[in-house]
Structure 1
């Protein structure tokens, strides 16, 4: 939400004073427009705080009533007049016109440059955007965590985040789950809309008025045939964050309803594992205690197989998903090796034990082990039992020299161990500040400072994946020598 005039008036360093329009201080300021034109309205979109010093009014005072009327018709947020610049005080005609046409009139102190007002509005807009994105990220994360429990938990969490009511409906329109429970009474009134959606295709949606409420209904399906419907009401889903949250819920519920059999691993849990592998969920985040409670305790291992997902029981706490064309299983490192052969179709590749920040690396290890198992005809191959590998090829005097040359700019600095540890944590966390800082046990601002120094020291671009890979290999080669 953009800042209001009231918020600007309450900002001490701006030194703004309200002269007219006390009932307009709630108006949101979309932007600040500085203009000395006699009629700036052709260049306004509405919602601006217009600032002027009246420099063109000195020789001949214009029709200020007509000037303010045009601003009111353009629906500006307000008008700010720079006092003691070209006029000793704000013209009385301007104040009278503002009162007449209901335009908020602010007096800007001589000591306050107009650019300071613009910067403050920009700062508040950026702050609001950041907070909105942060709220959306946290809400989606909570929604995904709820997916570990089941479809009903997703519906409950969505209703809580939106502050409205949510219905999960079966293909025939009956209520699977309602949040709150009283919302189930609204289902019969949506029957006609569900009939329209059944024939409109899986990507369709409808918005209808029901009981003085605006209701959004979307089908839940990963194919052509709807497996159910999601209805949201009691709130105006207009912001991009709300729409993104609803779309995320539709995707999660569509996956769950596609595979409702209780004997199989729910696709919601599979979606959580995919999010972990892609780095979209961070189990080490301070607010992730609920997620950690249902995940295998560290260290964990990743197993990769080419066959279909297992139909039978998995090890307690294990997660399984189809990821990039493979079946991927995550479980505690203490799981017996024989279990993987029982639940996965070979050949199976097994990673070395890792922590959650290194899941992406473990996925690559398991894939390499699976390839080795397929080549030698074995049912299962462990990565930590493979000979050498790529890092093994680099474990030579020449490889060590190349690694030292690459990291030399950091080695030459005071505090080199902290910088190298920060670089490794940053690369291992795929550039995610919170996860890397948590792993190091430092504040994220400390990590940002160190990474800024590293960027200045290294000749390559840290955003270049090739350079990042070289740095990662150099660090791993050093670890192998220590």
Structure 2
């Protein structure tokens, strides 16, 4: 326990003589200091018992001199004044003027008997402080053991937080990087609201693992610590006033919570692999109902979804997948070596905000909202928008009218080819023979007339109708809309351009390698 003034005066070996002390307060004693200066305050740190033989305080010292001296001692932070008494010392008893000054300034004043050396008081103070420090360290070790046992017991974040609160009486709330609660301990008194937690996360998340802070909101003292080993995984919000020795305990808590977050991440790896495989199965589902069933089995419910594609940066794909897994609740995420990190999310998710927060400065493309059966089109759109994002320097969302914007920025061959692939990929993937592409091109060339298109293709008109219905299903857009027709026509034109350029380059290369001269 901390050394208090009452505990010090209760030490019978010291036999301190109380000359003034109202005992209305019982301050903690943090040190002992000897000084014969009339102005000792600048040598005090606060919390000491100041000892003096009053060498510069003659017996006839005036009341005003005593008041000035006592005022300086108290102003320096001393919790008490002890005057050494003895036959060979300047004072054999405590001067009345000094006692009156101590009473006027309400500074505890003691007389020290002649046979009690100051070193005995100093020794008693520091022995008590060392004992208290050892007890505190023992408590910290016990707390660390308890937290470690809670983590190892399999109780997860809930057990760790419950152990912490029980041992410290300080509430704790664990959140994800968005400030959404994961675990809340049983606390006494007011707690921060969900809105407060989200606001704090909005401020701190961009700082990553350097986001610790202390604050007071609505008279609620809070300390927020980031959780994670190499990347921000969440926050722990401590509710209440932590003591002066709590930083070591808080460090232990945050370390164990961070390790628990990493354990949860590693233990969920099989589930992530399964969800990555589900991503691909949704894209190649044969029907709307099959795709919807796969999404529902993965925890995604709703009518419309969209795909995103994000450049992970050099060697950071695993970290980006981890961040998106924490922030995109229930989303399907996959990453192929050398490719972007891709995800299927609910159409109403604020994915642009999440990308700004957890994937800053990374190129990202966001596909248009669509039904489960046509997510392949949204995925291709996301990849196309990703190419534009690399050039523009910010996330790009694929929307109606995107074609014109895209072509305005797509001034090189690579972008033209990417655009063509994005629009036509659902058709190429579903029909590698090229019959669907040939049909839509013939139909558009024939001014969207069935019979002329059938004549061009040398097939029956019912075949053309059947293929057009299939095309509508694959791209997720009706062919009777002008925007759809224009987009398909531009994509086919871009495809023709890239094909022709490729042939030209190949021909030029062959020509350059032909031997010159001849007979």
- For normalisation by structure 1, the TM-score amounts to 0.51
Question: Post-superposition shift, 1:86?
Answer: 2.9
User: Is the counterpart of residue 31 in structure 1 residue 31 in structure 2?
Assistant: yes
Quick check: 1:86 aligned with 2:90? yes
**Cα distance, 1:56–1:209 mapped onto 2, change above 3 Å:** closer
Paired position in structure 2 for 1:164: 170
Q: Which segment drifts farther, 236-245 or 170-179?
A: 236-245
Q: Check whether the contact 1:4–1:25 (CA below 8 A) recurs between aligned residues.
A: no
Q: Does 1:130 align with 2:134?
A: yes
Would you say the 8 A contact 2:9–2:15 is kept in 1?
yes
Aligned twin of 2:222: 215
**Structure 1 residue 234 corresponds to structure 2 residue 236:** no
What's the offset of the Cα at 1:248? Answer: 3.1
CA apart distance, 1:138: 0.8
- Map residues 425-444 of structure 1 onto 2, 5 A cutoff: none
Q: Does 1:173 align with 2:179?
A: yes
Measured in 2, the distance between the counterparts of 1:24 and 1:44 equals 23
**In structure 2, how many angstroms separate the alpha carbons of the residues matched to 1:108 and 1:25?**
21
**For residues 164 and 42 of structure 2, what CA distance do their matches in structure 1 show?**
43
Where 1:56 maps in the other structure, the secondary structure is coil
Q: CA deviation at 1:201?
A: 1.6
Separation (CA, whole Å) in 2 of partners of 1:65 and 1:143: 52
2: CA distance between counterparts of 1:252 and 1:158? Answer: 16
User: Is the Cα–Cα contact under 8 Å of residues 143 and 249 in structure 1 kept in the other structure?
Assistant: yes
Match of residue 77 from structure 2:
75
Counterpart secondary structure, 2:94: coil
CA distance in 2, matches of 1:50, 1:181: 41
SS at match of 2:81: strand
Question: Match for 2:119 among 94, 115, 122?
Answer: 115
Report the CA distance between 1:24 and its aligned residue.
6.1
Distance, in Å, in 1 between the alignment partners of 2:219 and 2:191 is 17
Residues 54-90 of structure 1: CA deviation (Å, up to 9, x unaligned): 2333476362121111112212111001233432311
Residue 32 of structure 1: SS of its match in structure 2?
strand
2:268 match: secondary structure: coil
Q: In the alignment, which residue of structure 1 is the partner of 2:13?
A: 13
Contact between 2:20 and 2:99, CA under 8 Å: does it hold in 1? yes
| 1:207 and 1:215 in contact (8 A); partners too | yes
Give the superposition deviation at 1:29: 1.7
Give the deviation of 1:156 after TM superposition.
Answer: 1.1
Once the two structures are superposed, residues 276-308 of structure 1 have per-residue CA deviations (whole angstroms, 9 ceiling, x without a partner) of xxxxxxxxxxxxxxxxxxxxxxxxxxxxxxxxx
Looking at structure 2, the residues matched to 101 and 59 of structure 1 have their Cα atoms a distance apart, in angstroms, of: 20
Residue 187 and residue 249 in structure 1: after superposition, are their counterparts in 2 closer, same or farther (change >3 A)?
farther
* Aligned 8 A contact 1:193 1:206 in 2: no
Q: After the TM superposition, which residues 283-298 of structure 1 pair with which residues of structure 2 at under 5 Å, given as runs? A: none
Q: Is the 8 A contact 1:6 1:26 kept in 2?
A: yes
- Is the Cα contact below 8 Å between 2:220 and 2:239 reproduced in 1? yes
Residues 449-468 of structure 1 aligned to structure 2 (within 5 Å) = none
> 1:181 & 1:81 partners in 2: Cα distance?
47
Q: Secondary structure at the match of 2:253?
A: helix
Distance (whole Å) between structure 2 residues aligned to residue 255 and residue 90 of structure 1: 65
Indicate if the aligned counterparts of 2:180 and 2:197 stay in contact, CA closer than 8 A: no
Q: Is the 8 A contact 2:31 2:49 kept in 1?
A: yes
Instruction: Report Cα offsets for 1:111-146 as digits up to 9, x if no partner.
Output: 211110000001011101111111111100110000
CA contact (8 A) 2:44 2:77 kept: no
Name the counterpart of 2:108. 104
The answer on whether the counterparts of 1:2 and 1:128 sit within 8 Å (CA) in structure 2 is: yes
Structure 2 unaligned blocks of 5 or more: 272-519
Q: Distance in 1 between matches of 2:235 and 2:85?
A: 59
> How far is 1:105 from its partner?
0.5
Instruction: Work out the CA distance in 1 between the residues paired with 2:98 and 2:42.
Output: 20
Determine the C-alpha separation between the residues in 1 that align with 2:8 and 2:25: 9
Aligned residue-pair number? 263
Offset at residue 184 of structure 1 (A): 7.5
Over aligned residues, Cα RMSD in angstroms?
Answer: 2.5
Q: Is 1:154 aligned to 2:160, yes or no? A: yes
Q: CA offset at residue 102 of structure 1?
A: 1.4
